[in-house]
Amino acid sequence: MDNQQQAGNMEQQTIMTMLQSLQQIMQQQQQQAEQIANLRTQPTRPTAHTDDQQSLAKIIRPRQLDTFHGERTVQQVEAWLYSLEKYAEFVNIDDHQMVLFAVTLLCDGAATWWRGVEYDMTTSTPSTWSEFKHVFKYEFKPANAEQLARQRLQQLHQTGSVEQYVREFRSLMPELPDMDTKDALFNFVQGLKYQCRLQSIRLIGFSTIDQYVSAITALYNEQLTAGVNVMENQPRINAVKKLLKNARVLDQQKRRDNYEDRAAGTIFDGYSTIEKLAQVVDYFLRKDQSEHYQNAMMLLLSHHCLSRGKNLHSLDLPDAQTLSLEGEGVTPNIECHALIKTCPWMTLALYLFHCWTVVQEPFPNMTKPESWYNIKLCKGDNVDNTKEMQPKAHYDAIEKGFKACHIHSMTKTHAGRQSGAKMADIRGAGESDIRRAGHWTNDALESAYLTNLPRALLRVMAGFHKDGGRFYLRHAIEKPDPKLCRKVFPMVKVWQERINQGRDHGDQSIAADGFLQMLRQLSIVFLQDSVPL
């Protein structure tokens, strides 16, 4: 009897415990229902907002979030959680309210699941957002989702455009939250097409880094001169020097590993003697055509002026000027090269004489700047003289000339600039002169007021000693008859007379006067050099 009474008491206690638990659950549900109702009517907390946030929340009404029906795919699970977090961030919902709000968006199978979570007496109901996300992902995210995502990532390869491949790659990343940046980058590169992969892993070489450092150093020097920087900020610190040293070592090792031409880019790249340069010029001149006279002229201008190919392409006729240098030697007139075949003045004279006299192209109309300022010195079209020479045509011409003269050079349109600087250094021109001539350094003083003519370099490039006062050309001692000189470019006299009559008759610009003066000098050079040539 006592045993039965004890059993009844235990059973009654169990029932009472279950009733109490059920009552607590019902109370929790009622509280949650009230909180959800409050959340829907007042989703934001004004006290937590700044004035700007309050104004923004009043003006912008975010769209209603999508409901979740229990889809068990990684993309939908992650996307729904992400949109919910962004919405909560915008309306400033706290951590506990986010859980309550998220529950209102659960439908169908998802709502049934949450009801089971609430009635599960073995575990506590999630009350924070992190707890909710944990149980939510555990339920709806496939157990092997990350493994499947990694398999798809290994099978992913670029088959179309890079943009399409990027979109496919990005869609997989949310499924791999534990993958670090290095692994993701490695897998991304591995999936690219071969050519794209080569471009993506191409490292910056020593020459590029050195150019960057030089540019920053030049800027620092200008700032230091202007008084807006201090010595302590000089950019070539030990770390930069170490970077350059390591880059040079890696560059050399890469060349060794790839069995690259070890002479490329060195003193042996291109030509290094006047004789070789003369051979290429002679190759062009023997063809006796305007385009080949132009090719010879461009090579010599690039060599003597250390000019880039693109700078030569953009030259207009008014850019061609002459400047007499006093105190250079006993020979008067224009200072030409000691070797006629490598004299840029003679080649320029031959080119212009062939255009205006042999081919009989019209002489520039110098009535006003608009009528002749756009005429190119290095033309790309015999019909339209305002069209500049294309880089491909320049490249092909130099390549053929070098091949005919057995010259190996990695550069073509820049070959004169490269070899010219090298030969100037060999002949004793100082580094500062070479930099100034090639515009590797250029400050406000130099660009605005100075001539950019480092005379020591000009002397050695012309075949003379770097010190002044030794210029001498035997064939230039006798000056040709002025009447004969005027026959070389007869239109010079015509336009000079018109310009002298005033603005209504000819261009009064400094460029016009300088261009005609240059042609008069070229007439003398043409006659003096023609006999020995």
| DSSP code string of 368-422 | SGGGTTT-BSSBS-SS-TTSBPPHHHHHHHHHHHHHHTT---S-STTHHHHHHHH
- Is the predicted pLDDT of residue 310 greater than 80, yes or no? yes
Please give the CATH topology (third level) of the domain spanning 274-530: hpI Integrase; Chain A (1.10.443)
Question: Band of the pLDDT at 253, cuts 50, 70, 90?
Answer: confident
CA–CA separation, 402 and 396 (whole Å) = 10
| DSSP code string of 271-304 | --SHHHHHHHHHHHHTT--HHHHHHHHHHHHHHH
Any idea what the Cα angle at residue 212 is, between residues 209 and 218, rounded to 5°?
Answer: 140
- Is the predicted pLDDT of residue 236 greater than 50, yes or no? yes
Q: What is the mean pLDDT of the chain?
A: 78
CA–CA distances in Å: residue 409 to residues 121, 254, 271, 397, 398: 83, 20, 8, 13, 10
> What six digits make up the tokens of 374?
């756009």
Per-residue confidence (pLDDT) for residue 256, from 0 to 100: 84
SS3 361: coil
Nearest to 344 by CA among 520, 479, 522, 524: 522
- Is the predicted pLDDT of residue 138 greater than 80, yes or no? no
Taking residues 232-252, report their average pLDDT: 85
CA–CA separation, 222 and 215 (whole Å) = 11
User: Domain residues of the chain, as ranges?
Assistant: 2-140, 145-200, 206-257, 274-530
- Is the predicted pLDDT of residue 510 greater than 90, yes or no? yes
Each residue of 323-366: pLDDT tens digit?
777 666 655 545 566 678 888 889 999 999 999 999 999 999 99
Q: What are phi and psi of 505, to 5 degrees?
A: -110, -25
Question: Band of the pLDDT at 29, cuts 50, 70, 90?
Answer: very low
Question: Band of the pLDDT at 132, cuts 50, 70, 90?
Answer: confident
Low-confidence winner among 39-48, 160-169, 235-244 (lowest mean pLDDT): 39-48
Per-residue confidence (pLDDT) for residue 342, from 0 to 100: 87
Burial class (CB within 10 angstroms; exposed 0-12, middle 13-18, buried 19+) of 484: exposed
CA–CA separation, 479 and 528 (whole Å) = 8
DSSP for residue 201: T
Each residue of 98-130: pLDDT tens digit?
888 888 888 888 888 888 887 776 677 787 888
DSSP for residue 532: T
- Is the predicted pLDDT of residue 255 greater than 60, yes or no? yes
SS3 313: helix
Per-residue confidence (pLDDT) for residue 20, from 0 to 100: 52
Each residue of 361-403: pLDDT tens digit?
999 999 999 999 999 999 888 788 899 999 999 999 999 999 9
> What six digits make up the tokens of 514?
């300088």
CA–CA separation, 434 and 302 (whole Å) = 13
Per-residue confidence (pLDDT) for residue 200, from 0 to 100: 56
CB 507 within 8 A of CB 483: no
DSSP for residue 523: H
Each residue of 410-466: pLDDT tens digit?
889 989 999 998 998 888 888 888 888 887 765 555 555 555 577 777 777 777 777
DSSP for residue 265: T
Question: Band of the pLDDT at 248, cuts 50, 70, 90?
Answer: confident
CB 524 within 8 A of CB 486: no
Measured N-to-C along each axis, helices 95-104 and 129-140 cross at an angle, to the nearest 10 degrees, of: 40
**Choice between 272 and 5, residue whose per-residue pLDDT is larger:** 272
Contacts of residue 137, Cβ cutoff 8 Å, sequence gap at least 6: 77, 81
Taking residues 64-91, report their average pLDDT: 78
- Is the predicted pLDDT of residue 156 greater than 60, yes or no? yes
Each residue of 479-492: pLDDT tens digit?
888 899 999 999 99
Cβ atoms < 10 Å from Cβ of 4: 8
Question: Band of the pLDDT at 7, cuts 50, 70, 90?
Answer: very low
**Choice between 429 and 516, residue whose per-residue pLDDT is larger:** 516
Taking residues 52-70, report their average pLDDT: 65
